Structure 1
Amino acid sequence: MQILKEKEALRKLVRALKNDRHSIGFVPTMGALHEGHLSLIEQALSTCDKVVVSIFVNPTQFNNPEDLQKYPRTLEKDVELIKQLSDDVIVFSPTASEMYGDSISSEEFSFDGLEYQMEGKYRSGHFNGVGTIVKRLFEMVEPDKAFFGEKDYQQLQIIKKLVEKQGLNVEVIGCPIYREKNGLARSSRNERLSAGERQKAAFIYEILQKVKEDFGTKSAKEITTWVSNQFESQPDLLLEYFEIANADNLLSVQEEDMTKKYRAFIAAYSGDIRLIDNIALN
């Protein structure tokens, strides 16, 4: 396994691989790897000749400095987990100064309005940070395919829009949400939950399943009111938002058109730990 920390070393290796006609798969992560990440890496390994996994906690996509500080950093453990899948994966683990130089700041992007929905309403500048780091990583890795989990579905749509608008030659592939046994969407932040909190947080997926069941027979307004009422009975979970939105443009549904695809999106707090999830409705 090769572990690189400098972008020029990565570029040099990528050029050599491309000269040898290897296809390159890319899985960008912020580390603290879990089964969800590993499933992305497995899919990349099954479809590409070589796979690059980046492990970088990107400071520009955190609007909460405390959240950035508390984000788990477990590089040695992450490398061991990857080795269990394959010893031929290339790991890129740069410092912030390697990626940003002396000025750790975001570029400004337009994602045709995708950035103003849901997460964008509550995390100012977040998607500029995402766009900045993903664009830089794509330019370094030059992947044929890049793999992202659908848990961050809005981010997935943002990255597809980034590729389209920047004219980047990479196929962005969305992969199914990996869930814990109780249904909770797998996330690095779950590691900060106690066993009791983790069990109670399964309520989020239970709600989404019920929403999926009711969609098409009840209006979006009725469902949204019901979800709010359900969370009011859960003292250990604080609902930040719930929305039913068009799966393509992420606009909140006003009147259902069953010829279009919809998803339900949710964000909630367990203590100070923010959890997000979503589900396809039709």
Structure 2
Amino acid sequence: MESLESAADINKRVDRLLRAADAYGRFPTPVEDIVAAAKLVQADGYVLDESMISQAPAYLRTLLRSAKQKIQGLVDRRERVIHISPDIDHAGKRRFVALHETTHDILPHQQDLLYADDTETLAAGTRRLFEREANQGAAELLFQRTRFENDAADMEISSGAIRALAERYGSSLHAAVRRYAETHPGQVAAIVLSRTPTTSNPPTWARQECMATPGWTAQFGPARWPRLMTATDYPFLTALTLPSLGHVQLPDMNGNAIMVQVDAFQTPYTSFVLLWSPQRRRLLPRRKIYVAA
């Protein structure tokens, strides 16, 4: 957020929308109520459904079918409708796309009446300003501003904590990993890799992205790893094939060898490696429970 000049404005508008939807403290985050509070609705049908494309002039059908493969979501400001591609079958991702399109709408400087998002613009690390703003706004909405990081700070660092938080807020695991490794108050880094090695001798994974907290960056430097990573050069990747590996040594900014914890986990599509400096935390937050008379 620090790199966005519009950060303060995004925070203000997100907070206003979360309050209007009475979304703070409701879990999973009530995306439908947030969309409704923005005076938008999600379309029952899809604007690029094949039945609609088939009715278009012949010279447009090929173009529309090509666009259909790329576009994940779009917001029609005139009709106040959000369209989400039916090809997105992951509920957490659909929720994020809905909030991404909602953010396009609530930012007054993004005034296009029809704004479409494809797989490129929704990818992490995009440099397009409007997309970075919409991605950031969607994350702030989905994770209820600082609620997610406050919950994370009160839990033991682990993949189990991230899974619990993803379920609590209704996000994909990937989005929760990113948020966790960007906002946790501890020294945490996360690496997102291909599901399986691209080559086996030596085992080599394709890195997709990496994130780190300010605490990690202060001790170990910015989270920068190459696009192709081997377990030989980066022993913590061994945790992907040897789950019993729980810690490795990494050099800090001063060249000192520091013991860090490792936790590797996977989805059907992606591999994740979580690194952190040990700290004593509870697995789940201690909460007061009141029982009505």
TM-score (norm 2): 0.31
Q: Which of 1 and 2 has higher RCO (CA within 8 Å, sep 6+)?
A: 1
